[in-house]
Structure 1
């Protein structure tokens, strides 16, 4: 298969995944998470239940799967190495939020509300924090290669992610009226006890 065909196939796969997820989130908001089945999502998206499961192995994944990890790792890798670690992580979180909310932040807000209000999703959402923490450590590459460096990177990432989570809950509570990147920067300022990274 040519590289062009492979790229086209990946793009179609990503488009199908986005469409399924948007239908799922819409139905979960309209009908409730527990009252909506995977078959309902498949029907709304115009695909088979097997296609839904191919993209989202569990019902929870229909809400929780996103591209935040790779985006965050990319942002971390692009930060200057001379800055303190927590500041670099914080800046990457703020810039990632800026990218994620640049388009349709209504979808992001709906997903977040579902994560907060649905018990089955809350537990898995915490699992996602560990995945993001690992993405941050991975994004630091050789800087987090040894056990001590990886420990410090994970600690900085964990503290910054906790601050971000607090900002996300506040953003959901005020119905998305605040700018999410600014809320994250403000929460990080409380953790870093300094001028917030990336406040725009």
Structure 2
């Protein structure tokens, strides 16, 4: 899957997203179009889907019980990012930049965000002993996914900023209750 995504990303950069076909991606990855569709439902999915959710779940479940839900999410995300190579982080940033620029990918990312909220709600519910459809669980899950999305887009536009550092700072801000002060 990662190889197909790398070829797709390269072709999207070289030719543009709209001009690149599934057939071209499959050819570059040395697979058939039918094999492509075994991994990805649509052309958009090749940029939206990744293998990070199972890693996040495992890292989250490994966090000590004494941590608050947000602290556990922060620690899990930090653990996951620290295990990524520089190349993986660069590919993630390139994908995020593309998602930010291409309307079809932004729309597909919305669908992915909804799935991620469901995933996050399940993780938080399991940790807290609540139901995944509990209003507070769903609100927190949505807030965490919103923080991730805002930092993803911000760092895609500002390459000089470190994603892990910004994500941790933003989750800390969320954990503190979003204490936004007026600038005078």
TM-score by length of 1: 0.78
The question of whether the paired residues in 1 share the 8 Å contact of 2:69 and 2:127 is answered with: no
- Note if 1:129 corresponds to 2:113: yes
**What do the CA deviations read for 1:135-156 (whole angstroms, capped 9, x no partner)?**
2233346445543784433322
- 4+ aligned runs moved over 4 Å, structure 1: none
Q: How many residues align?
A: 177
What residue ranges of structure 2 are gaps of 5+ in the alignment? 178-184
Gaps of 5+ in 1: 1-16, 195-200
Q: Which residue of 2 aligns with 1:63?
A: 47
Aligned CA distance change for structure 1 residues 105 and 142 (closer, same or farther; 3 Å) = closer
User: How do residues 49-128 of structure 1 correspond to structure 2 at under 5 angstroms?
Assistant: 49-100=33-84, 102-128=86-112
Is the alpha carbon distance of 1:39 and 1:146 closer, same or farther for their aligned partners in structure 2, counting shifts above 3 Å?
Answer: same
Name the CA distance, whole Å, in 2 between partners of 1:43 and 1:67: 23
Give 1:117 deviation, angstroms: 0.7
Residues 136, 157 of structure 1: 8 Å contact kept = yes
Match of 2:149 in 1: 165
Equivalents in 2 of 1:107, 1:193: separation in Å? 31
- TM-score, length basis structure 2: 0.84
Alpha-carbon distance between aligned partners in 1 of 2:109 and 2:42, rounded to the nearest angstrom:
13
Q: What is the alpha-carbon root mean square deviation over aligned residues?
A: 2.2
Q: How much does 1:114 deviate?
A: 1.1
Q: What SS does the corresponding residue of 2:91 show, helix, strand or coil?
A: helix
Which deviates further from its counterpart, 160-169 or 109-118? Answer: 160-169
Asked whether the equivalents of residues 101 and 180 of structure 1 are also in contact (C-alpha less than 8 Å), the reply is no
- Cα distance change of structure 1 residues 93 and 127 upon mapping to structure 2, 3 Å threshold: farther
